[in-house]
Amino acid sequence: MWEYTDAVRDHFFEPRNTGELPDANAIGEVGSLACGDALKLYLKIDENGVITDAKFQTFGCASAIASSSVLTEMVKGKTVDQALEITNRDIVEQLGGLPREKVHCSVMCQEALEAAIADWRGLPAGGPAPGGQIVCACFGVTDEQILHAIRENKLTTAEDVTNYTKAGGACGGCLQDIRRLLDAELGGGQAAEALTVELPRQITNVQRMQMIMQILDRKIRPSLQRDGGDIDLIDVNGKEVAVALRGMCINCPSSRVTLEGFVQNTLRELVDPDLVVRQVRL
């Protein structure tokens, strides 16, 4: 289970500035659905180069939503030059911290901001380090992106690079290449390896059930109710969560997508990555 700060939970449950911005004159898109995270950032920039409005659309985890939400709040009222000074570290700090495995969400936001401003200036998109050779085919991460992350965040291990860029987080086939980039950037042979593995904190069954009920009430149920549906918690048996869909969700042809793609993924992200949601018809 990920440990989230109150600020992350606040921006996830009540994200600011979501949706399209019809009169946006700067748009930055990063990530892809195939890689699991995608962000589209809209900016409205006036004739003096001041960002007067910002909105976002994102497909991703709680950290991606929270990072995108807080970024839109951070850039409003800033000039484009001031906004370009915002780093992923500033986003993480504004959220009171992110799990190290989720820092890449803040990096994605920084890249979207840079891409949007490049769009406004009529420059080619590509973020801080355009071009380069693909190192991680699973997530489409280039050597230039990895080197930028190493320099920007003073990374020293392959695990750090994965946390900041997602490179190496799938099949792991590029980890040796990542280590070579680290060695080259750090002067040769200085790339460190993590010596310890942080074990996840264990939660009791009662705590798990309480957290599931909270997420259902605060995040999942309101979303379904907006489309005329609803959901009831029937039982929690270890890692198995039994629910019943209500209203328009009962006969919806997308009910399986709702259960697996929304309900189950949300509970896995915020409660326990091993939870399995099954539908019960009463």
List the catalytic residues: 35, 105
- Beta strands per DSSP E along the chain: 26-32, 37-45, 51-59, 134-136, 141-142, 229-237, 240-247, 276-279
3-state SS assignment for residue 232: strand
What DSSP letter does each residue of 76-140 carry, written as one string? TT-BHHHHTT--HHHHHHHTT---GGGHHHHHHHHHHHHHHHHHHTTPPP-TTS----EEETTTT
Pick from 149, 11, 2: which is nearest to 74 by CA?
Answer: 11
> Which strands sit side by side in the sheet containing 37-45, from one edge to the other?
26-32, 37-45, 51-59
Q: How far is residue 128's CA from residue 133's CA, in Å, rounded to a whole number? A: 15
Q: How far is residue 100's CA from residue 198's CA, in Å, rounded to a whole number? A: 11
Per-state percent for the chain, helix, strand, coil, to nearest 5: 45, 20, 35
Give the count of beta carbons closer than 10 Å to the beta carbon of residue 18: 14
